[in-house]
Amino acid sequence: MANTVIVVIDGFGVGAMPDAGSLRPGDLTADTCGHVLDHARTAFGRPLRLPVLGALGLGLVHPHPDLARRTHLPVAVGRAALGYPGADTFAGHQTMMGADFSRVTVARLADHIDEVTDALTEAGHRAERLEGQPLLMVDGSVLVHDNLEADPGINWNASGRIDEVAFDGPGGILAIARTVRAVAPVARVIAVGGHADGPLAAYVRPGDGGTVGLDTPATGFYRNSGLQVQHLGAPLDHTRQLPEMAARAGIPVTLVGKAADILVCDAATRHPAVETADVLTHTLEAVRAGGDGLVVANVQETDLAGHQQDTGRYGRLLEQVDAGLAALVALLDTPGDRLMVTGDHGNDPTIGHAHHTREYVPVLIHRPGADGVELLPDANSLADVGATAAVSLGLNPEDLAGGTPFHRA
């Protein structure tokens, strides 16, 4: 066993999957990596400086002319399909850690509104459609609705004004969200409470794909203080995911960035962070601390740049990540160490909308002590990343709920 570090560049895709256009036909042209590189040539007057991503083999899975086609590092290089419905950070990370998402579906609230109404009624709530629309007003104060900030049918929300209803406690927003979670087939039900600028009903609008929900940014929730949010994920057997398996085997586990917020492992050391500099610092510190272990780090700001459709910011962040990877490559030099760089979905900032894009993601594995370069076949699921990490940690990948190790990776 040695150090195994998984760095997830959030929203970093390398080209559309075949089903990327099922919701938006234009997404078949999605290519986060290629379009960010193209933009840099125009906006910066130079190629992006990504020597380490190049040395890790990015140019072997993406044909962009600004990426090197050769590497001197001992690497295994390929790409992975997502292996879960839609394109979502929560589902991506859970799948990557070995979860089985086969029972999670993409669904509008409208498709299950009677079932949700019955569950809320049985729990003692009053649930009624708001002006006949396919969303629910619960107890006159909490809206249960489609999440309009993700792709249609990925997540549902339970939203309320905390000056009208408590976030926690009996009858609160979170309790209502938990009742919805018990019958929801989607990846996440999100409880949201905050101070709005007016009645929530005034901010209801239609979304894509026949969804209807709350325009949460317009409410003022994000601008005003006091925002409370809790994500309720689909029921998963976390004991069959990589962090819990590693911890049970006595392997130290460190979760950094968004990974610290969305992955389950009671024994893990957690460093939540959003700024890329902080994520890289915590990751490097975890490796420098010595001792063999598992580190899973999420670089979130690339995803935020994609949502903001800010191609220039995305490019600058990639250069910042590349510099951090240089330090990690220098530290992880013992045979058996592994640095695995990947993504959880795409988020092409040039695509014309602010949603994630369903793209393949790179799988770049630095393997000190190995020989040469291995080109990996396309993986059907991100779960193969977790299975490969399990092998490097001396764990049995068959104990995960999903995933198959890459050969010799």
Nearest to 192 by CA among 234, 223, 233, 230: 230
- Is it the case that residue 103 has pLDDT exceeding 90? no
User: pTM of the prediction?
Assistant: 0.86
CA-based R_g, the chain, Å: 21
- Is it the case that residue 150 has pLDDT exceeding 90? no
Between 158 and 291, the higher pLDDT residue: 158
Identify whether the C-beta of residue 124 lies closer than 8 Å to the C-beta of residue 187.
no
Over residues 217-237, the mean pLDDT reads: 91
Identify whether the C-beta of residue 294 lies closer than 8 Å to the C-beta of residue 251.
yes
**Domains of the chain with bracketed CATH:** 4-104+236-399 (3.40.720.10), 109-233 (no CATH)
- Is it the case that residue 291 has pLDDT exceeding 80? no
Q: Give the per-residue pLDDT at 1.
A: 60
Q: Give the per-residue pLDDT at 408.
A: 67
Over residues 29-56, the mean pLDDT reads: 96
Q: β-strands 212-214, 127-129: how paired?
A: unpaired
Confidence class for position 101, pLDDT limits 50, 70, 90: confident
Query: Hey, is 31 helix, strand or coil?
Result: coil
Give me the percent of the chain exceeding a pLDDT of 70: 100
Contacts of 110 (CB under 8 A, 6+ apart): 134, 146, 210, 211, 212
Cβ count near 235 (within 10 Å): 10
Cβ count near 264 (within 10 Å): 16
Give me the percent of the chain exceeding a pLDDT of 90: 87
Phi, psi of 146 (to 5 degrees): -65, 140
